[in-house]
A and B are shown apart, each in its own frame.
Chain A
Amino acid sequence: MIERKLLVKARLGLHARAAAKLVRLTATFRSKIILRRLEGGPNADAKSILSVLMLAATAGTELEASVDGVDEQAAMLAIEKLFAESFGEREVEA
């Protein structure tokens, strides 16, 4: 099992569109993937969009991901990449 901290950088937080991208990604891995808020709170199954949405992760929220399974390395790498790229959100020009 691997554990990593993740930062929600997307300006609108982990909202429906971002969550959809995350769930589409996690679904391609066999590992069990759990997210939780760093400050505590319930575990969210990263393959369930409802769970992910209920994290209510706004911009700047720190999450902890634990990935456990045969493809855990690849899964974690892909998840970190998605978070680093702010879920591919077009930055709204301010």
Chain B
Amino acid sequence: MKQQAPEIRCKGLGVSEGIVIGQVLRMVDGASQVSRWSVNENDLENERQRFRQAALIASERLRTLRDQAGGRLGKDHAYILDAHVLLLEDEKLLGDIAEYITAERVNAEWAIKVIGDRLTTLYSEIKDDYLRERGSDIEDVMQRLLTALSGARPEDLRLAEDAVIVSRDLLPSALAELDLEHAQALATDSGGWTSHTAILARGIGLPAVVGLRDFYRRTKTGDRIIVDSNRSEVILHPSTQTLAEYQKQTGQTSARRKAVPVAERGAFCTQDGVEIRLRANVELPAEFDTVEKYGACGIGLYRSEFLLARNGLTVSEEEQRIAYEAVARLAGEAGAIIRLFDLGGENTRSHFREPEKNPALGLRAIRFGLRNDSVMRRQLRAILLAGATGKLKIVLPMVTDVSEVRRVKAMIAEEIDKLKNDGQPYGDVPIGAMIEVPAAVMMAEKIAACVDFFELGTNDLVQYTLAVDRGNDEVADWFRTLHPAVLEGISRSLNAAQHAGIPAIVCGEMASTPAYAVLLIGLGATDLSMTPSAMPRVRRTLAAIDSASARSIVEECLACESADEVEYLVHSRLGSCWPQLFPASSLPKPRPSQ
């Protein structure tokens, strides 16, 4: 009879709502501390035997896991595990490790670590994002060998349909690769509200808690776990009592997750008759059916970078055209806005020969496109061609003034001429500017005069306005979405668009939080783009408020002197205006001042 492990509660940040009771499925085991010791000549044979024995045990265990996974998690997961089984039985790999033990007269653990590191280093030099990240497979296998050597027995190695993915940092491509039908929730050590993985999790409606720091190492695959994103918490080995409490709650949550809001689609009005549109932010093909499911008014932001995740910058015009046509089809009459490759920071690491010292301020987004003429032109042509089959718009990321817009417009005109000469059909594609850096806000009136629409990227606008890295935990206290400077920037941009008579779409994560969405309406926004799964909440909220009250709250906010003051104000005013929508617990709590 095994002993019941004590309940462990761990606080993180709930980035995608929902509660899930499930079993841990660890992904990408990390390197653990391994020590080195010398082995006597006489004991070398024993050491090699010990290693071979461990390899047998590890592969035996993994085979069992794989066979169970085949049925429960779907074939694709099973094949990943099969690759690991094959590695554990690979004579080249095992031979290299055994030889190292002999040659260096060291313990098996150290040999595994050295050979493993060598291989992962080789992997890290591969010039392909997708394959390079697969170096994690090697790490995973090495970790299994070490576990087997240590004599630890992973208990209850079962993979079930209630798999909760637990990892240190799940790379976007790894998330993309998952069979999302079977993953129920996500818990990671790193990441924040706006990390790529969090955005994707929200996109596919996968409950997620991130920023759990050192949670991963405490878990084993098969452990019972509760992910409570609403409380920003995960509970490992929940007690019988905790489990019972949660089982009561989740009866409701899972029903909610399956409910399809059929009646809720298209534009709708606030109580005082302001028409609101909710559009979809999408990236992965896996998210596509959520656009229809949640009744989005077309696609407000298509993050085209996913096309590069697999093939890098060489992605062909043809492949892109096919992808954009699919996006246009999906968006229908309301159309889709394609953001040109927004490369830089977390989604690029690899495209630069050397890492930049300050990537957030580096050669990224539109700058990268202007520098890499052929990449940009290929993308523009593909969009123009796809534009012949549906309604597409282009938005330029990280614009700072009109010169960037003009340069891209000139390129588009040239590409149109070429298409005309070749007799190829193309579509009329409006051009918009992403307003996401302070310079663009300050130049908003001038930029508005030379584009067809604005799109406000609030994630980056907060980061650049406040000069706070959103991925850096140390300065998380300074990342204040409700900073008066941010609200001022949004206000100015929306006004500039209004005066120029062009539409403005607010597309950052801010729009997907009901309380913030109310403020955006107060600031004059009527067109929001967000992760589709957030739409029902935002729609319910905005349909129940009146824009006049929202405006008066915002006016008070704009007069505030600090983020603390705004947060306090929002907390009390939303609660008193619409208590049924904003019970005290649902609002972002004001933080104590620093």
Contact = CB atoms under 8 A, between A and B. Distances in A.
Contacts of A12: 130-131, 310
B131 A15 contact: yes
Interface in B39-83: 76, 79-80, 82-83
B402 interface: no
B134 A48 contact: no
A59 B311 CA distance: 8
Given A11-B311, A49-B87, A56-B126, A17 B79 contact: yes
A20 B322 contact: no
Contacts of B130: 12-13, 15, 58
Interface residues of A, number: 26
A50 B90 contact: yes
A13 B131 CA distance: 7
B285 interface: yes
Question: Interface extent on B, as a size class?
Answer: 20 to 34
B80 A16 contact: yes
B292 interface: no
B91 A54 contact: no
A55 to B, nearest CB: 10
Given A15-B130, A92-B285, A23 B86 contact: yes
A15 B82 CA distance: 12
A24 B128 contact: no
Interface string B306-344: 010011000000010011001000000000000000000
A94 B322 contact: yes
Interface in B288-315: 288, 307, 310-311
Name, among B86, B92, B285, B319, the residue most crowded by chain A CB atoms within 10 Å (CB to CB): B86
Contacts of B311: 11, 58-59
Nearest to A14: B131
A13 B129 CA distance: 11
A65 interface: no
B370 interface: no
Interface in A2-16: 11-16
Given A48-B91, A50-B87, A59-B310, A20 B82 contact: yes
A17 B126 contact: no
Contacts of B310: 11-12, 59
A87 to B, nearest CB: 9
B330 to A, nearest CB: 10
Contacts of A58: 128, 130-131, 311
A67 interface: no
A64 B582 CA distance: 65
A21 B92 CA distance: 18
A75 interface: no
B83 A16 contact: yes
B285 A93 contact: yes
Contact of A94 (B80, B131, B326): B326
Contacts of B326: 93-94
B86 A24 contact: yes
B93 interface: yes
Nearest to B82: A20
Nearest to A48: B92
B410 interface: no
A17 B128 CA distance: 16
A46 B119 CA distance: 18
Contacts of B126: 56
A64 B243 CA distance: 56
A15 B134 contact: yes
A78 interface: no
Contact of B86 (A49, A56, A59): A49
B76 A17 contact: yes
A12 B310 CA distance: 6
B80 A45 contact: no
A49 B90 contact: yes
Contacts of B127: 56
Given A15-B130, A56-B128, A58-B128, A50 B83 contact: no
Nearest to B319: A94
B488 interface: no
Contacts of A24: 82, 86
B293 to A, nearest CB: 16
A94 B328 CA distance: 12
A19 interface: yes
A20 B585 CA distance: 50
Interface string B221-236: 0000000000000000
Contacts of B83: 16-17, 19-20, 49
B577 interface: no
A24 to B, nearest CB: 7
A6 to B, nearest CB: 17
Given A11-B311, A13-B128, A59-B310, A20 B86 contact: yes
Nearest to A93: B285
B117 interface: no
Nearest to B311: A59
Contacts of B79: 16-17, 20-21
B122 interface: yes
Contacts of A11: 310-311
A23 B92 CA distance: 13
B137 interface: yes
A82 interface: no
Contacts of A50: 87, 90, 92-93, 119
A1 B137 CA distance: 33
A24 B86 CA distance: 8
A23 B119 CA distance: 19
B92 A45 contact: yes
B90 A48 contact: yes
Nearest to B132: A56
B573 to A, nearest CB: 46
Given A11-B310, A16-B84, A51-B92, 20 more contacts: A11-B311, A13-B131, A16-B79, A16-B137, A17-B79, A17-B82, A20-B79, A20-B80, A20-B86, A48-B91, A50-B92, A53-B134, A53-B137, A56-B127, A56-B131, A58-B128, A58-B130, A59-B311, A94-B322, A94-B326
10 contacts: A15-B131, A16-B80, A16-B84, A20-B86, A24-B86, A49-B83, A56-B131, A58-B131, A90-B76, A92-B285
